[in-house]
Amino acid sequence: MLLNKKQDLASQLRRTKILDATLLLFSENGLSQLRIAEISKRSGASIGSIYHHFKDREGVIYALYHDSFVDCFEQLRQSILEETDAESGIKRFVVSYLQWVFENPAQASFIYAASQEEILRRHQDELHAFKSQFYLDIFSWMSPFIQSGELLALPPWAYDAIIMGPAHEFSRRWLGGLRDLSMEEAQSIIADAVWRAIHID
């Protein structure tokens, strides 16, 4: 009753076209120059249609943020869960994130740009729920290694800062104009550094 109706498909397609145009325009001119009228022109959707599907400008931005975000997190979650020892898992996590950035630079830039906006406050609860589940999964993977003394025992917030901080910092710079830096080299250097920071000999 809910799927595969003509309207659903058309609606989904329109939504996708709007978000595709949005990402493209963001890549060209940045978030603050993103204009509804431009999205309309570029996507072929009327202004009314955009507002119908996304409520307002922030709604468009949030939808694209959300989709990109979920895509990235799912890849990360899968990666780490495939590994069975601490060192491979932690390094794979870092490498996978950088790989996602490498493969999806526009989305990655968009996430960083949008995450600075207050937009997210409006959807705080939904985002928080998603992130919480994600961190739960990661934690339950790490937990045995913390118990066994392979990984440092730290307050929960510290893992994110120590494990993901360097990759985020590098990504922001790589995306922001330093794309000639080798992502492959960065993956190995940063993964090694994180491992030194987080494990116990």
Partner DNA sequence: TTTATTTCTAGAAAAATATTCTAATATTAA
Partner DNA sequence: TTAATATTAGAATATTTTTCTAGAAATAAA
Q: Site residues (CB under 8 A) for its own copies?
A: 29-33, 112-113, 116-119, 154-155, 157-158, 160-162, 164-170, 173, 178, 181, 185-186, 189-190, 193-194, 196-198
Shortest reach from residue 7's CB to DNA, in Å: 3
Shortest reach from residue 58's CB to its own copies, in Å: 8
Q: Is 58 a residue that touches DNA (CB under 7 A)?
A: yes
With H, G, I as helix, E, B as strand and everything else as coil, classify residue 163. Answer: helix
Q: Is 196 a residue that touches DNA (CB under 7 A)?
A: no
- Per-position x/- string for 18-37, each x denoting binding to DNA as judged by CB under 7 A, each - no binding: ----------------xxxx
Shortest reach from residue 171's CB to DNA, in Å: 27
Q: Is 3 a residue that touches DNA (CB under 7 A)?
A: no
Nearest to 25, CA basis, from 16, 17, 34, 37: 34
Which of the choices its own copies, DNA, none does residue 118 contact, using the CB cut-off of 5 to 8 A by kind? its own copies
- Residue 71 CB-density burial (10 A; 0-12 exposed, 13-18 middle, 19+ buried): middle
With H, G, I as helix, E, B as strand and everything else as coil, classify residue 119. Answer: helix
State both tokens at 58.
């922030």
Q: Which is nearer to DNA, 11 or 104 (CB)?
A: 11
Which strand (E) or helix (H) includes residue 158?
helix 156-175
Q: Which is nearer to its own copies, 44 or 165 (CB)?
A: 165
Q: How many CB atoms lie within 10 A of CB 39?
A: 24
Residue with token string 């943020």: 65
State both tokens at 177.
């104009």
Q: Which of 24, 49, 75, 162 binds DNA (CB under 7 A)?
A: 49
Q: Is 114 a residue that touches DNA (CB under 7 A)?
A: no
In the 8-state DSSP scheme, what is residue 33? G
State both tokens at 123.
């959807």
CA dist 80 and 105 (Å) reads 21
Cβ-Cβ contacts under 8 Å for 174 (sequence gap 6 or more): 101, 181, 183, 186
Which of the choices DNA, its own copies, none does residue 125 contact, using the CB cut-off of 5 to 8 A by kind? none
Binding region for DNA (CB under 7 A) out of 42-50, 81-89, 116-124, 188-196:
42-50
Q: Which residues bind DNA (CB under 7 A)?
A: 1, 5-8, 10-11, 14, 34-37, 44-49, 51-53, 56-58
